[in-house]
Amino acid sequence: MARAMFEYTKTVLKKVSFNSDLFYKEVEKALNRLLPYEIDELTIWLRQFTANKPELYSCMVLINE
C-alpha cells in the first residue's frame, strides 16, 4: 500500500505542475504522509522533475528543511 501512495503522489505532482502554488501544497502533503525512505526517493524524483522547470524550484525549500 505504501508504494501505491508514493506512485499516487508522483501522479498528482505531475498533474498539478502547471501551478507552482498547488505543486508546493502537494509536496507539503506528501512530506507529511510518506514514509522516510519514500521521502528520500521523492527528493531524488523532484530534483529530476524540476530540473527544467524553474517555476517549481520553490518546493525544494521544503525538502531542504
CA distance 1 to 20: 28
Q: How far is C-alpha 65 from the chain's CA centre?
A: 14
Predicted local confidence at residue 20, as pLDDT: 92
Predicted local confidence at residue 41, as pLDDT: 94
CA distance 21 to 1: 28
pLDDT mean across residues, the chain: 90
Q: What confidence tier does 65 reach under pLDDT thresholds 50, 70, 90?
A: low
CA distance 39 to 32: 9
CA distance 3 to 65: 24
29-51: pLDDT as tens digits: 999 999 999 999 999 999 999 99
